[in-house]
């Protein structure tokens, strides 16, 4: 129904319902700031309604305003104005006509009036049937809540009551009776309406459509229909899209009650929701919402559709041009060609590679020579091939080589492919692995030394003849004969500084110890790794009881998209196992398992880092029930450490999801952990430590139980309570910390803080922190392992000595050897690692004289896993002994987990013979089954990945391993006295100067107004320097690597004061503190460059601590009425301070005071009124004194005199 087409029905019983009036013209809002309710049947006020009582004055004149203190009604708007003119009050009534249609007044809850007026208090509403005559009955009772205020428009409501409501239907009259007022009171109404009526127009008076929504896919276009239910006398006038009418029988059609929106019309609309309004002749107009999506179908084609190919040495690739929809695949007789191998796609050009065409049988079309191009939609297209000729053969040269394990050399051969490709290399039917057993560079194939070291000695014969298989040719295979001799040297042990990550992180360079020194073939090793993975991860495990005989599996899937690693020994889930499982999955290239484990961890272990506080914010609960309930919300840091590294490797290997909040944005989630592990904000609790101990940061470590005297840069056992006062040697993973630093340094070079760090400099600080943490852990290992046996304790003090309830070598400590050996394999930082590996393998090789149990620990295959360690300051040189054979951590088993860790130590071992014996023990040891399979299983799989060269550091391309060398400046400061220039020399160390910024972050231009660069020298111009204020002016040099370097220019003789205009200070922009005077030894004032603020340090309790700042008023202080200081607390008792300002020192004239200011760590503006300002002008000093001056630190950012 169009509003403009409606006129009120005076007395008709049909037509549209009229249940409200807006006295503003066609429903328009009389005032733009008033949001009027939607009223069914909005009626413009044009004349007095029938039945108005003679003693009610109705006035619709524009701007009528009987109230002297009320703004006039805007010109052009209209209100209903009435005046009570006689007593008694019950005669003061006016009447409006309503049309309820087929509804009754009982269908409505009440009436609402938007009005203002003079002192009116009580009203009641009455009603009568019909347009005239009849008796009015009370429908509301007396309403005492209609008190009005001359100054304010008020919304007033009354609730209907009475037994006559259901009899009032169709056209009725409702009157407003003023029951408590005085003569000549004035009132105005902007709208009046019934409330709580039937939805959608009610009473059956509106025509409808069904359905009211639909979808339309341009890719599969079809007409869209809806069915109308028309009220009596109603017709469909138009269908509209916004203000535009659709064309009948072109855009839509009507057949009976069915309206069809034509597909041709919808195909021309933009994707999104198209709202079509059905314009009926009366009633509310319904909307048909059609969601349009997709794109119009495109026809597919290829060119050419037939082609001829002659096999020869010089045959060219075949190119085909496609058009239409996206190409999904190409198949030949139902077998898909391999994209990137058999063909390639560049834009609309498809290249069928020569070596694939050479494999086809000769003939013109027919089976095997028709390629089908499959597109995302539309019809497939075919390319018919006419193939002829003979495919050339490939050759290799040389066809044999000798290899001496004692003096290893490069073994390679050059292929002449002749338009073919290498399919595989096999040895006695076993396929070699590309990347680890051999590499291909151009036409040169190189066999890896680790593979050759695994072959038995001999000249040719079984196991020493490699078969090269090519894609086609008269002779499609060639043989390469090997003459193997000698003994492999020290297992390929890298020299210091030559760890695999530092030397290019080549995937093929990770040592496979089983083939290198263990006498196994590559295929045997590959099978062993697969068998181990399947033993722990494949199939379905029964979770009804942890103690299933013979069961090895610990991976449990839940709900299809989640999984957990089951700690069967405790029948729960640990962050340790979950993070281990994720690391195993990324190393095995199984993203499905990885994502399921990660989703379970996020859903059930994660403590939301966006929370407002809490010790565990951002960390993962270390112990959770198998049903997903947290049993201890605190973290065990080895979980966070492995989670972080696994996420980084997943991002490098598979890339991340793009959404910042997506849990599978591995890169984002890893960076949140990297920040949270070494930071705790004040909101996380004043007695809370981070996972790593960070020196000099009062807000990130426990300053009571965790005083930071020792242990800086070390991981704690747990950040909660006393657990933060010691560490766990097996949590120390310097190889991982180096990876973290490399990733953050890459982020810094990319200029990306990921919304986690406030600035790039903060990010760089954390990169340096983790580099230092790696070095600290390497030094810690030397003090945390026994000098003779190599054993470490489960728990240690930060100086390495055993501590706590687990001051012995047991299950946690098993892992220390793996951590040290991995650090050597990846980074080879120093020879101590090889000394450690030989030391611990010598001890466990046996016989172990320190074991007092008869027949125990006699050889490498029966040593036990737990050992008592000496205590005290000389523990490293004391004698170890076996643990008791019963009770906690009993000396009673040859644990496969420890066997795996001792085998992993071989990655750093110099004694190849002994290392090979530990590898043999690992190869043959049986996996733990049943209830206690979890921990042994985890270590077994991690060890297997390490010793087979399958535990690798996956890095994003371009990530540098070696720490960068930041630039430096030849001086930290210079002096300027209004003449000449200032220069400083840069030591770039391979970096480039990016910018020089003022302390407020604005760039200093590289021109005559700023600075110039000549070689490695930066010169600041006189123009720039004469614009600086007296005192210390700090500028920051930003280079391509490293944090910004501050350079201080000390200015004298400047006409520019320290304050801004002489009446304010902004310490965020510059120090400006050269003229500060302090009173009393208990206060110091300094500029904090990190926080860009004036920092006040109160070091003595309740002394007369104050300081002076100079101001240049340039007039009288009486011109200002207020002073505002923006400040915050930092530490100590800052929460209840009083401040007094005086002119002329501590005993001068008091001009402002503020008592008991409650500071917090957030910036707060404190405004004080100025007094006693008469006669104070020009250059003055203002003294700032603090009351209640307990020891504390607070900061000031701005001070401003103002009005």
Residue 88 lies in a domain: yes
Helix axes 760-784, 816-827, angle to 10 degrees: 120
pLDDT at 955: 94
Do 1026 and 1070 reside in the same domain of the chain? no
Do 564 and 637 reside in the same domain of the chain? yes
pLDDT at 365: 94
pLDDT at 928: 93
pLDDT at 579: 98
Pairing of strands 137-138, 122-129: antiparallel
Determine which of 567-581, 1106-1120, 1162-1176 has the lowest per-residue pLDDT on average. Answer: 1106-1120
Mean pLDDT of 298-313: 91
Do 740 and 786 reside in the same domain of the chain? yes
pLDDT at 351 exceeding the cut of 60? yes
Residue 534 lies in a domain: no
Do 983 and 1128 reside in the same domain of the chain? no
pLDDT at 624 exceeding the cut of 60? yes
In the DSSP assignment, the letter for residue 809 is B
Determine which of 409-413, 588-592, 1014-1018 has the lowest per-residue pLDDT on average. Answer: 409-413
pLDDT at 522 exceeding the cut of 80? yes
pLDDT at 69 exceeding the cut of 70? no
Domain of 289, in residue numbers: 208-293
Residue 441 lies in a domain: no
CB contact set of 913 (below 8 Å; sequence gap of 6+): none
Among 932, 963, 994, give the residue marking a domain's end. Answer: 963
Residue 63 lies in a domain: yes
Categorize the per-residue pLDDT at 1101 as very low, low, confident or very high, splitting at 50, 70 and 90. low
pLDDT at 554 exceeding the cut of 60? yes
Mean pLDDT of 506-524: 88
Q: What is the mean pLDDT of the chain?
A: 83
Categorize the per-residue pLDDT at 37 as very low, low, confident or very high, splitting at 50, 70 and 90. very low
Mean pLDDT of 1068-1084: 68
Among 963, 988, 1005, give the residue marking a domain's end. Answer: 963
Residue with tokens 């391993």: 961
Do 941 and 1011 reside in the same domain of the chain? no
pLDDT at 125 exceeding the cut of 90? no
1085: CATH: 2.60.120.260
pLDDT at 711: 79
Mean pLDDT of 48-69: 30
pLDDT at 77 exceeding the cut of 70? no
Residue with tokens 């722990």: 536
| pLDDT 10s digits, 246-302 | 999 999 999 999 999 999 999 999 999 999 999 887 777 899 999 999 888 788 999
pLDDT at 1041: 83
Per the omega criterion (within 30 degrees of 0), is the bond before 685 cis? Answer: no
Looking at per-residue confidence, does 681 or 847 come out higher?
847
Which range, 76-80, 450-454, 711-715, is most confident?
711-715
What long-range pairs does 25-32 form, CB within 8 A, spacing at least 24? 25/77, 25/78, 27/3, 30/73, 30/74, 30/77, 30/78, 30/79, 30/190, 31/73, 31/74, 31/77, 31/190
569: CATH: 1.50.10.10
CB contact set of 661 (below 8 Å; sequence gap of 6+): none
- pTM beyond 0.85: the answer is no
Rounding to the nearest 10 degrees, give the CA dihedral for residues 499, 500, 504, 508: 160
Categorize the per-residue pLDDT at 749 as very low, low, confident or very high, splitting at 50, 70 and 90. confident
Among 1000, 1019, 1051, give the residue marking a domain's end. Answer: 1051
pLDDT at 177: 74
pLDDT at 146 exceeding the cut of 80? no
Categorize the per-residue pLDDT at 1193 as very low, low, confident or very high, splitting at 50, 70 and 90. confident
pLDDT at 376 exceeding the cut of 60? yes
Burial string for 511-534 (b: 16+ CB within 10 Å, else e) reads: bbbbbbbbbbbbbbbbebbeebbe
pLDDT at 488: 63
pLDDT at 743 exceeding the cut of 80? yes
Categorize the per-residue pLDDT at 1076 as very low, low, confident or very high, splitting at 50, 70 and 90. confident
Angle ∠(771,777,782) on CA atoms, nearest 5? 140
Do 737 and 864 reside in the same domain of the chain? yes
Element (H, E) at 103: strand 93-104
Determine which of 38-52, 113-127, 579-593, 1101-1115 has the lowest per-residue pLDDT on average. Answer: 38-52
Do 247 and 307 reside in the same domain of the chain? no
Rounding to the nearest 10 degrees, give the CA dihedral for residues 1021, 1022, 1027, 1030: 110
Determine which of 110-114, 382-386, 1109-1113, 1128-1132 has the lowest per-residue pLDDT on average. Answer: 1109-1113
Do 34 and 149 reside in the same domain of the chain? yes
Do 903 and 1037 reside in the same domain of the chain? no
pLDDT at 544 exceeding the cut of 80? no
Do 260 and 361 reside in the same domain of the chain? no
1030: CATH: 2.60.40.10
pLDDT at 30 exceeding the cut of 50? no
For 951, phi then psi, to 5°, come to -105, 100
Mean pLDDT of 63-87: 42
Kindly state the percentage of the chain with pLDDT values over 70: 85
pLDDT at 926: 94
Determine which of 104-108, 245-249, 592-596, 976-980 has the lowest per-residue pLDDT on average. Answer: 104-108
pLDDT at 430 exceeding the cut of 90? no
| pLDDT 10s digits, 88-117 | 344 456 677 787 777 788 878 888 887 777
pLDDT at 309 exceeding the cut of 60? yes
Count the domains in the chain: 8
Do 735 and 667 reside in the same domain of the chain? no
pLDDT at 806 exceeding the cut of 70? yes
Question: Are the CB atoms for 1064 and 1198 separated by under 8 Å?
Answer: yes
- How far the first Cα of the chain sits from its last, in Å, is 58
pLDDT at 78: 55
Distance, in Å, from the CA atom of 1103 to the CA atom of 567, rounded to the nearest integer, reads: 60
304 in helix, strand or coil? coil
Determine which of 143-152, 627-636, 827-836 has the lowest per-residue pLDDT on average. Answer: 143-152
In the DSSP assignment, the letter for residue 152 is B
Looking at per-residue confidence, does 1073 or 1046 come out higher?
1046
Residue 535 lies in a domain: no
Token pair belonging to 386: 């006419």
pLDDT at 72 exceeding the cut of 90? no
Categorize the per-residue pLDDT at 707 as very low, low, confident or very high, splitting at 50, 70 and 90. very low
Do 256 and 224 reside in the same domain of the chain? yes
């Amino acid at each position: 129904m169009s509003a403009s087409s409606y006129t009120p029905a005076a007395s008709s019983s049909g037509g549209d319902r009229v249940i409200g009036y807006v006295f503003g013209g066609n429903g328009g809002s009389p005032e733009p700031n008033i949001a009027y309710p939607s009223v069914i049947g909005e009626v413009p006020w044009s004349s007095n309604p029938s039945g108005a009582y003679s003693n009610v004055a109705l006035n619709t004149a524009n701007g009528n305003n009987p109230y002297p203190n009320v703004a006039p009604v805007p010109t052009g708007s209209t209100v209903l104005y009435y005046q009570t003119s006689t007593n008694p009050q019950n005669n003061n009534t006016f009447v409006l006509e309503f049309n309820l249609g087929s509804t009754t007044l009982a269908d409505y809850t009440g009436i609402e009036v938007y009005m203002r007026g003079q002192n009116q208090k009580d009203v009641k509403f009455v009603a009568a049937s019909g347009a005239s005559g009849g008796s009015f009955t009370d429908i509301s009772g007396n309403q005492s809540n209609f008190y009005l205020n001359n100054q304010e428009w008020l919304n007033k409501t009354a609730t209907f009551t009475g037994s006559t409501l259901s009899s009032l239907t169709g056209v009725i009259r409702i009157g407003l009776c003023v029951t408590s007022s005085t003569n000549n009171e004035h009132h105005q109404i902007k709208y009046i309406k019934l409330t709580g009526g039937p939805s959608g127009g009610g009473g059956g008076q509106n025509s409808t459509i069904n359905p009211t929504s639909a979808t339309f896919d341009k890719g599969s276009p079809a007409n869209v229909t809806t069915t109308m239910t028309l009220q009596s006398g109603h017709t469909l006038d138009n269908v509209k899209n916004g203000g535009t009418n659709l064309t009948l029988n072109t855009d839509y059609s009507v057949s009976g009650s069915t309206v069809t929106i034509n597909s041709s019309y919808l195909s021309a609309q933009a994707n999104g929701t198209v709202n079509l309004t059905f314009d009926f002749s009366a009633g509310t107009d319904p909307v048909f919402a059609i969601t349009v999506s997709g794109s119009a179908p495109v026809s597919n084609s290829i060119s050419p559709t037939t082609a001829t190919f002659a096999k020869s040495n010089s045959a060219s690739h075949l190119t085909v041009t496609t058009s239409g929809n996206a190409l999904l695949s190409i198949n030949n007789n139902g077998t898909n060609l391999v994209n990137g191998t058999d063909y390639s796609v560049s834009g609309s050009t498809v290249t069928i590679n020569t070596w694939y065409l050479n494999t086809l049988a000769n003939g013109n079309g027919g089976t095997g020579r028709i390629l089908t191009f499959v597109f995302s939609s539309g019809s497939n297209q075919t390319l018919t091939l006419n193939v002829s000729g003979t495919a050339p053969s490939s050759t290799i040269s040389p066809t044999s080589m000798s290899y001496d394990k004692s003096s290893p050399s490069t073994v390679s051969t050059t292929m002449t492919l002749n338009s073919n490709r290498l399919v595989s290399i096999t040895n006695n039917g076993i396929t070699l692995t590309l990347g680890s057993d051999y590499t291909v560079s151009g036409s040169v194939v190189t066999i890896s030394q680790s593979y050759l070291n695994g072959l038995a000695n001999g000249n040719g014969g079984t196991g020493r003849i490699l078969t090269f298989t090519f894609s086609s040719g008269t002779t499609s295979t060639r043989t390469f004969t090997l003459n193997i001799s000698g003994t492999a040297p020290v297992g390929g042990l890298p020299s210091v500084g030559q760890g695999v990550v530092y030397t290019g992180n080549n995937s093929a360079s990770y040592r496979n110890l089983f083939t290198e020194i263990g006498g196994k073939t590559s295929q045997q090793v590959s099978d062993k790794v697969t068998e181990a993975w399947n033993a722990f991860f494949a199939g379905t495990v029964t979770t009804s009881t942890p103690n299933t005989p013979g069961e090895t599996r610990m991976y449990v899937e839940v709900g299809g998209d989640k999984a957990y690693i089951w700690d069967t020994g405790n029948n729960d889930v640990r962050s340790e196992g979950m993070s281990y499982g994720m690391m195993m999955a990324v190393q095995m290239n199984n993203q499905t398992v990885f994502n399921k484990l990660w989703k379970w961890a996020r859903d059930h272990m994660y403590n939301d880092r966006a929370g407002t506080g809490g010790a565990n914010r951002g960390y993962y609960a270390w112990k959770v029930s198998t049903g997903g309930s947290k049993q201890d919300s605190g973290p065990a840091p080895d979980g966070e450490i492995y989670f972080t590294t696994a996420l980084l490797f997943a991002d490098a290997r598979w890339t991340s999801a793009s959404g910042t909040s997506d849990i599978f944005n591995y890169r984002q989630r890893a960076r949140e952990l990297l920040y949270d592990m070494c930071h705790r904000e004040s909101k996380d609790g004043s007695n809370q430590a981070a996972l790593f101990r960070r020196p000099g940061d009062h807000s990130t470590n426990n300053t009571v139980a965790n005083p930071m005297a020792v242990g800086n840069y070390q991981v704690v056992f747990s950040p909660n309570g006393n657990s933060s006062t010691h560490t766990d040697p097996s949590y120390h993973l310097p190889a991982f910390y180096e990876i973290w630093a490399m990733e953050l340094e890459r982020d810094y070079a990319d200029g990306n803080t990921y919304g986690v760090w406030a600035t790039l400099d903060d990010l760089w600080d954390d990169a340096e922190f983790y580099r230092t943490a790696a070095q600290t852990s390497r030094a810690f290992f030397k003090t945390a392992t026994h000098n003779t046996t190599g054993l470490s304790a489960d728990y240690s003090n930060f100086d390495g000595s055993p501590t706590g309830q687990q001051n012995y070598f047991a299950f946690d400590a098993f892992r220390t050897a793996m951590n040290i050996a991995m650090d050597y394999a990846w980074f080879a930082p120093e020879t101590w690692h090889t000394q450690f590996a030989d030391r611990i393998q010598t001890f466990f090789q046996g016989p172990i004289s320190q074991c007092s149990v008869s027949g125990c620990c006699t050889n490498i295959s029966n040593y036990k896993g737990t050992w008592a360690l000496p205590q005290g300051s000389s523990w490293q040189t004391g004698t170890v002994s076996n643990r008791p054979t019963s009770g906690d951590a009993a000396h009673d088993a040859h644990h496969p987990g420890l066997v795996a860790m001792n085998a992993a130590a071989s990655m750093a071992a110099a004694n190849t013979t002994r290392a090979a014996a530990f590898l043999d023990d690992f190869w043959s040891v049986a996996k733990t089954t049943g209830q206690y399979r979890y921990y042994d299983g985890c270590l077994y799989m991690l060890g297997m990945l390490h010793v087979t060269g399958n535990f690798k550091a996956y890095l994003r391309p371009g990530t540098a391993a070696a720490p960068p060398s930041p630039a430096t400046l030849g001086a930290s400061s210079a002096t300027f006295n209004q003449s000449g220039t200032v220069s400083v020399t840069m030591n770039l160390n391979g970096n480039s100067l990016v910018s020089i910024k003022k302390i407020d972050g604005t760039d200093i231009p590289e021109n005559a107004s700023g600075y110039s660069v000549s070689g490695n020298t930066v010169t600041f111009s006189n123009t720039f320097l004469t614009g600086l204020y007296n005192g210390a002016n700090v500028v920051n040099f930003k280079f391509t690597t490293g944090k910004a370097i501050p350079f201080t220019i000390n200015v004298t003789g400047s006409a520019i004061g320290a304050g801004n205009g002489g009446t304010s200070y902004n310490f965020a922009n510059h120090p400006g503190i050269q003229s500060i005077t302090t009173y009393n030894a208990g206060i110091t004032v300094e500029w904090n460059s990190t926080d860009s603020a004036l920092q006040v340090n109160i070091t003595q309790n309740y002394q007369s601590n104050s300081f002076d700042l100079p101001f240049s008023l340039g007039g009288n202080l009486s011109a200002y009425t207020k002073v505002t200081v923006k400040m915050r607390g930092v530490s100590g008792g800052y929460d209840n301070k009083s401040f007094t300002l005086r002119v002329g020192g501590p005993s001068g004239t008091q001009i402002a005071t503020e008592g008991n200011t409650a500071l917090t760590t957030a910036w707060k503006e404190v405004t004080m009124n100025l007094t006693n300002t008469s006669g104070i002008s020009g250059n003055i000093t203002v003294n700032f004194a603090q009351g209640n001056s307990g020891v504390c630190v607070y900061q000031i950012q701005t001070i401003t005199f103002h009005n």
